[in-house]
Amino acid sequence: MLKVMVVFGTRPEAIKMCPLVIELQKREGIKCVVCLTGQHREMLRQVMDVFGIREDYNLDIMKEGQSLSLITVNVMDGFDKVLRKETPDIVLVHGDTTTSFAAALSAFYLRIPVGHVEAGLRTYEMHSPFPEEFNRQAADLVSTLYFAPTKAAKQNLLEEGKPENNIFVTGNTVIDALRYTVNGDYRDACLEWAKDSRMILLTTHRRENLGEPMEHIFRAVRTVAEENADIKVIFPVHKNPEIRKLAEKYLAGEDRIRMIEPLDVMAFHNFMARSYLILTDSGGIQEEAPAMGIPVLVLRDVTERPEGVEAGTLQLVGTEEREIRQSVERLLKDERLYRKMSQSVNPYGDGRASVRIADILVKQIWRR
């Protein structure tokens, strides 16, 4: 029996790992053990509930306003104990969070092979996104198997000298997740409120956007809402208290803006599907939106997801108030531009990434 330890700790990792856990649990010959670090608490639980997965371990490390160092030491300390007890054949981490980096390092220290799901994404700018660019490069340094979502990600890994035999282009498991969530009949009171308008969905959370960049974003959104009677903005606000304070300061009191609690992933994907436009600094949303054909203005200066920009669905607008405002206005007024951005192209796979990853694990390629 092959023992596969799957470890994750934040909302986006969970959304992209749960379809894989479900696939691994179906396979005879694989015992799948799930360890949550609990870097997120409520936002992680929401995902587990939607997918109906129960974890075997939860390190429950989250603290309000946690520092990167604290996350790192607590993940490593807790996960090291779990690894020593379970002695898995391989550990799977996902993406670029501090959970992923710290868990991969713990496994490496115990000489347990690491498989990195969503490997090879790069901006090659260590401070953008911060600290994610470090986290993913560091995770790849200690990994044995690389599950690259796209050919471009594989190319990055090859150029860094990673062994080609251990790199697999699988597609992104986020497309697998969409198969569980998007539902044409989905109903919600907030969607009812927005239904007579063009709906703009907003999310922000990046550490490098905290402070002044986020103030710019919020001021731009408020002005757009004040000046356009036919739009409504829905903003599921991240649980980070720093973001909540800023959001309240700049966005409260405008009737065309609704700030709500983070949506569970089923709701969020259906909100996305009904949106006219999405404004976000998120990584995962940059992958989901092209699959749905919803235009996205990316509130960042660089992206590790060039495929969505090439496909035409994503436009990088940075975090300057004027640029954001003008870009939104353009999309509200220029129908041709809007149509061009909403052409549905999906560069991230066919929704079978989990099946491919499970197939590769079954073959135990890292042991050859």
Kindly state whether residue 262 participates in binding ligand UDP, applying the rule CB under 6 A: yes
Q: How far is the CB of 227 from ligand UD1 (least distance, A)?
A: 30
Among 268, 275, 294, 307, binds ligand UDP (CB under 6 A): 268
CA-wise closest residue to 366 among 81, 162, 133, 172: 162
Residues 87-106 touching ligand UD1, rule: CB under 6 A, are 96-98
Q: Which is nearer to ligand UD1, 131 or 228 (CB)?
A: 131
Site for ligand UDP contains 205 (CB under 6 A): yes
Quick one: which of 6, 20, 39, 220 contacts ligand UD1 (CB under 6 A)?
Answer: 39
Q: For residue 130, which of 219, 226, 30, 208 has the smallest C-alpha distance?
A: 208
Residues classed as catalytic: 96, 118, 132, 205, 207, 238
Count CB-CB contacts under 10 A for residue 266: 19
> Closest CB to ligand UDP among 88 and 236?
236
Using CB under 6 A, which of the segments 70-78, 142-150, 284-292, 326-334 binds ligand UDP? Answer: 284-292
- Residue 39 contact partner, candidates ligand UD1, ligand UDP, none, CB within 5 to 8 A by sort of partner: ligand UD1
Rule CB under 6 A: say whether 319 interacts with ligand UD1.
no
Distance between CA atoms of 64 and 40, rounded to whole angstroms?
10
**Considering only 39-47, 175-183, 228-236, 344-352, which stretch makes contact with ligand UD1 by CB under 6 A?**
39-47
CA distance 358 to 207: 33
Torsion of CA 328, 332, 333, 334, to 10 degrees: 80
Q: Which is nearer to ligand UDP, 238 or 325 (CB)?
A: 238
Minimum separation from the CB atom of position 333 to ligand UDP (A): 27
Planar angle of CA 185, 190, 191, nearest 5 degrees: 40
In the chain, which ranges are continuous DSSP H helix? 11-26, 42-51, 68-86, 98-109, 132-141, 151-159, 173-181, 189-194, 212-227, 241-251, 265-274, 284-292, 306-310, 321-333, 335-341, 353-362
d(Cα 320, Cα 52) in Å, to the nearest integer? 41
Q: Of residues 255-314, which lie at the interface with ligand UD1 (CB under 6 A)?
A: 283
- DSSP character at residue 234: E
Return the number of the residue (163 or 241) whose C-beta is nearest ligand UD1.
Answer: 241
Which member of 239, 258, 274, 352 binds ligand UD1 (CB under 6 A)?
239
Catalog residues that contact ligand UDP under the rule CB under 6 A: 11-12, 15, 203, 205, 236, 262-263, 265, 268-269, 282-285, 288
